[in-house]
Chain A
Amino acid sequence: MHLMFHLSDISKSYGPLFAVAHTTLDIPAGRTTALIGPSGCGKSTLLRLMNGLIAPDTGSVTFDGEAVTAANASSLRRRMGYVIQQGGLFPHMTARQNISVMARHTGWTAADTESRLQVLADLTRFPLDALARYPAELSGGQRQRVSLMRALMLDPDALLLDEPLGALDPMVRFDLQTELADIFKTLGKTVVLVTHDLFEAAHFASDIVLLRDGAVEQRASMDVLLSAPASTFVEKFVGAQRGLNGARGLNGEPGL
């Protein structure tokens, strides 16, 4: 199996608190892996360790066989798209400028940039006329589409998403979940998705990594997490999510 990310004995602490504690984790290529767990379990920190936004205290991270260091992080990141909860769009640039900022920075021709923009707008079903708008003039869902287009602009090998749908209202979120899953399937890229919602994780990935206090508690599919929880923590986490989901009556995963 081709590994896209290999995290080996990796730790990161903030003062006395360990965000990630001696964790080893492999992310296979060409599939979607979901990182899940309660707040403070270290899932976002893991994602930032992968693209070198954070340097680990111990251990090492390799991306596609190459060690991630401070020196090569900027160039490696161009091969990893990154989307965060609020989109992280640059408010002083239009949607088009946001998406094409790296293409301009790395010297693409205007024609190449424009044709790539068309492909991405088509893929994410983003209206072309809205490309001239500023982030403040877009809806929450549109902003996340722009953010996704920006992440995909340089046709990266991997896509890292940190709660990409976390700030959206439930209806938009539901629609976008379905669309995103389709997009991931179409692209066939390595996707690492951080979420706190088990059903969202299951929607995107059969490979779910459940984290607790900076360490992997159980890594399995949804079915296994339900039928054979590795610990009472897993059982409680799954149970709480089912209760929440039932009460909310949305995001229902077929087959549950």
Chain B
Amino acid sequence: MKYLSRLPALLLTALLAVPFTAMHTLPAAAQDITVGSKKFTESVILGEIIKFTMTGNDIETAHRRDLGGTRILWSALLKGDIDIYPEYTGTLRQELLKGTDTHTLPLLRAALAKQGIRMSAPLGFNNTYAIGVTKETAARYGLATISDLRRHADFSLGFSNEFLDRGDGWPALRTTYRLPQQNVRGLDHDLAYRGLESGAIDGIDVYTTDAEIAYYDLFLLQDDRNHFPVYDAVILYRADLAERVPGAAATLTRLEGTIDAARMSAMNGAVKLDKKSESAVAAAFVTDRLKIAATPSDSGFVARLWKSTRDHLVLVIISLGAAILFAVPLGILAARHDRVGQCILAVVGIIQTIPSLALFVFMIPLLGIGGPPAIVALFLYSLLPIVRNTHAGLRGIDSGIVESAAAIGLEPGASLRIVELPLAMRSIMAGIKTSAVINVGTATLGALIGAGGYGQPILTGIRLDDTALILEGAIPAAVLALAVQGVFELAERAVVPRGLRLKSNG
């Protein structure tokens, strides 16, 4: 029995101590307004500008930056996890409100109003899609328009994953222009420029305000069939914002018509090429253009590292702790009842086959963005190794030992507690260790849905082509994985009975 009294005490202490202390310091709950931004530089800059404009008018505002793509932001806005985010009219028409007649601004506003969403007037720039190639490629193939691509079936294209799927993206572009290219790859937008420069791909999708267009001296193919719609930047906000925070909607109107394409492109360049922070660029803008005093909110290395460590630990510890508490009993159930066991193993096995990113995104409609959906997704991911090892550990016990436990008069529960679980402990601990390491790695994806953690610097680092920033997430994540493994190895020493570590002498 002493083996048993040790295990829960050990695990519970570890599991409960950290998250509860960390929960107190979770960000943003007390703010009046939460602004969201997508995980590309322009969106983050606009998010910062909105934040500074609000705080300049004494409205407490938090900015959840670098959330994933359009769907994540839109769901979060509808659900109320965020109140405001910058969007583009083209995205609204082509993607979010597809199938509704929205070809004029009043119609677009009316369609949004039905969903409880309001829209500002355009901010002043159109950031549409274009197909970009290097000047050398344009010259070599004699390209001037997108129609010219029809003559080059072997032309290789690299598109952002969003562009590959969108209503006005590659499938529609291919149909409009009857393009023959087969060699089309999906890749991260920020990596695409590097692919283009290295010659790995011939053409990519670009946003027309991308600073890289000037930096890499790209040639944009003319959209001679007017395929790409207008992408005027606008600000979306929840209809209930007006009553919840008086003055918020009026404050937003100050941004209307203030940013032209050249200005946006310059701000993108200041961040991506001159390595200024989004916050500094946004602060400079509101000071200069709106005469609002703003202090860039850049945290230092230590503060950033501490925040991502704390966020990451919260994700890992809560999800893994819950998984242990849930999966061990499931494994026991599976070992005791054959039929039920097969069902349990099948279900947790199927969960494991769902791509991790998809699992995170599935959680958004149910749980919004931030920590909770990430924790649930990580929890589900952590089940299989623990359930399977618990099941295997119990089933692997010599039948004579289990029979003896019953034969000396131990009830089934007592047999489990006193005999079977201690004997299966090594296998159970191995399962927990596997889960823990997977969990620490997978938790980096949590940043995509606003859960923070070591994924945040990795995401931002990829976006800004900043290797140091990528390592700021990747190295601690690796260290944490090793540390977690070490902790469970120590725990294994404590909970795996000494008698099991002896070699038999015959």
Give the interface of A toward B (CB within 8 A): 51, 53, 74-75, 77-78, 81-82, 84-94, 101-102, 104-105, 134-140, 150-151, 154, 160
Contact = CB atoms under 8 A, between A and B. Distances in A.
B506 A137 contact: no
B404 A92 contact: no
Nearest to A151: B408
B423 A82 contact: no
Interface string B483-506: 000000000000001111011111
Contacts, number: 84
Contacts of A85: 400
B12 interface: no
B409 A136 contact: no
B354 interface: no
Contact of A91 (B410, B414, B499): B499
A172 to B, nearest CB: 11
Nearest to B411: A74
- A-B pairs with the 9 shortest C-beta distances? A88-B404, A92-B497, A82-B407, A78-B409, A134-B499, A77-B409, A136-B502, A136-B504, A92-B499
Interface in B395-436: 398, 400-401, 403-411, 414, 418-419, 422-423
Contact of B400 (A86, A92, A94, A138): A86
A165 B407 CA distance: 18
Interface of B: 1, 3, 398, 400-401, 403-411, 414, 418-419, 422-423, 497-500, 502-506
A53 B415 CA distance: 14
A136 B505 CA distance: 6
Contacts of B411: 74
A92 B422 contact: yes
Given A53-B407, A91-B500, 10 more contacts: A77-B406, A78-B408, A82-B404, A89-B401, A90-B401, A90-B404, A93-B497, A105-B410, A134-B499, A135-B504
A74 B506 contact: no
A33 B419 CA distance: 31
B499 A74 contact: no
* Main DSSP-derived SS at the B contact region: helix
Nearest to B399: A88
A137 B502 contact: yes
Contacts of B504: 135-136
B141 to A, nearest CB: 73
A91 B423 contact: yes
A135 B500 CA distance: 10
Contact of A102 (B408, B497, B503): B408
B239 to A, nearest CB: 64
Given A74-B409, A105-B410, A136 B404 contact: no
A110 B498 CA distance: 22
Contacts of A104: 1
A88 to B, nearest CB: 3
Q: Name the residue among B1, B409, B411, B499 with the largest chain A CB count within 10 angstroms.
A: B409
A49 to B, nearest CB: 12
11 contacts: A53-B403, A53-B406, A77-B408, A77-B409, A82-B407, A88-B404, A89-B404, A91-B423, A92-B497, A105-B410, A136-B502
Q: Name the residue among A78, A92, A150, A160 with the largest chain B CB count within 10 angstroms.
A: A92
A53 B422 CA distance: 22
A134 B408 contact: no
Contacts of B422: 92
